Amino acid sequence: MSHGREGPSEPPDQDKIDAVYRVATEWAQRMEKSRISEYLELLHSPWRLIWLNVLSGTARGVGIAIGFTFFAATIIYVLQVLGALNLPIIGDYIADIVRIVQHQLELNTY
């Protein structure tokens, strides 16, 4: 007695099992790409974590210092070039800045 089906080649649950397998495989690949195991190893060795944070903080600080030095040198160079041109408006503006800085320096020395 047949119920209108010819016997399937795979059990009906096989599709669900395949879908779960694909999802699990995808998650495993994502976790491997995210290097979660290395992160967990790092969490279990706090001194290594501290050392890496010190190194990265030092590198970041040195990078900021070098970047700011380059930026400030560029601004000073541009101001010197503009000051050498003796443009009336810009020259007066630079002279005002110099006066303000000199005044502040005189106030801080007393």
Decide if 8 is inside a domain: no
Share of the chain above pLDDT 90, in %: 26
Decide if 9 is inside a domain: no
The domain containing residue 94 runs over which residues? 15-108
Residues 6 or more apart whose CB falls under 8 angstroms from that of 17 comprise none
What pTM was computed for the model?
A: 0.47
Q: What confidence tens digit (pLDDT) does each residue in 21-54 have?
A: 999 999 888 877 778 778 888 888 889 989 999 9
- pLDDT recorded at residue 13: 85
The arithmetic mean of pLDDT across residues 69-97, rounded, is 81
The arithmetic mean of pLDDT across residues 61-86, rounded, is 87
Decide if 19 is inside a domain: yes
Decide if 2 is inside a domain: no
Decide if 42 is inside a domain: yes
Q: What is the total count of domains within the chain? A: 1
Decide if 6 is inside a domain: no
By CB atoms closer than 10 A (0-12, 13-18, 19+), residue 82 is middle
